[in-house]
Amino acid sequence: MNTNDEQTAMSAGIWNTFTTDPTTGITILTADGEILFINEQSTRIFFNESREPGSLVGVSIYDIGFPKEWADERVELMKEIIRSGERRLLRTIWNGKQQFSWMSPVPGDDEQDQDRVIVVTRRVPTTYENEYLMDDEIEVVRSGVICLGGLSVLTARELEILSLLGQGMSIKEIAATLYRSVKTIENHREAIGRKLKRTRGVELTVIAQSAGLSIEDSKRIRMDKVARPESGGYDSSKDK
């Protein structure tokens, strides 16, 4: 085997390992949002399990059923990545889970090829890793559109309180932060517990940390408040 063959085999092996990592979603798209490649993990993150990755290849993210605000945000970001040649780290909440997407430009092989963007997505709860990513040298873009999944039953105020619980704050500390009485915060926490069917404070803390919620998320556009995707789109019941 010559050097070129060895390099090709090594590249193929690395790519196969990379795309089959059970914790990592991989998608390659054009700047206009057409899906050129998507692995099973990425399909599971964004769609219900009945969707086959191959059925999404060649389809625009505008035609899959996502809200226009969500698709516009990503297309604008991908065009900027291709124009600047710089990577971006996109942080969002999807189906009630925090996830980070590393987005990098992939130049076309020749003048006939369209430039593309490769998107590597992982779910990351509120941990030291989360703090490291937010402080990383790559610019972090915070998505303005979120999909709350099972958390969509909560009001904006309840999301704020849940996010602060996830940061380890006590009821008293939350009351001081939000300029509300302790009794008011206790009532909100009880309402959150009823809606999520979790009555223990520690359970709510775990849910909040898994979701990776920040207090600013309560102000973002919620997919449960806009047009729902068509049949076969995201399935918020998966995380209930």
Residue 227 has what pLDDT?
A: 44
Q: Which domains does the chain have, with CATH numbers?
A: 7-147 (3.30.450.20), 151-219 (1.10.10.10)
At 205, the amino acid letter reads T
Q: What is the mean pLDDT of each run of 10 residues along the chain (240 residues)?
A: 50 54 86 93 80 91 88 95 93 90 84 82 76 69 91 94 92 95 95 88 86 90 62 38
CA distance 182 to 173: 9
Percent of the chain with pLDDT strictly greater than 70: 76
Residue 238 has what pLDDT?
A: 39
Helices and strands of the chain, counted as H and E runs: 9, 8
pTM: 0.79
Mean pLDDT of the chain: 82
Give me 117's structure tokens: 């963007």
CA distance 78 to 139: 14
CA distance 186 to 38: 44
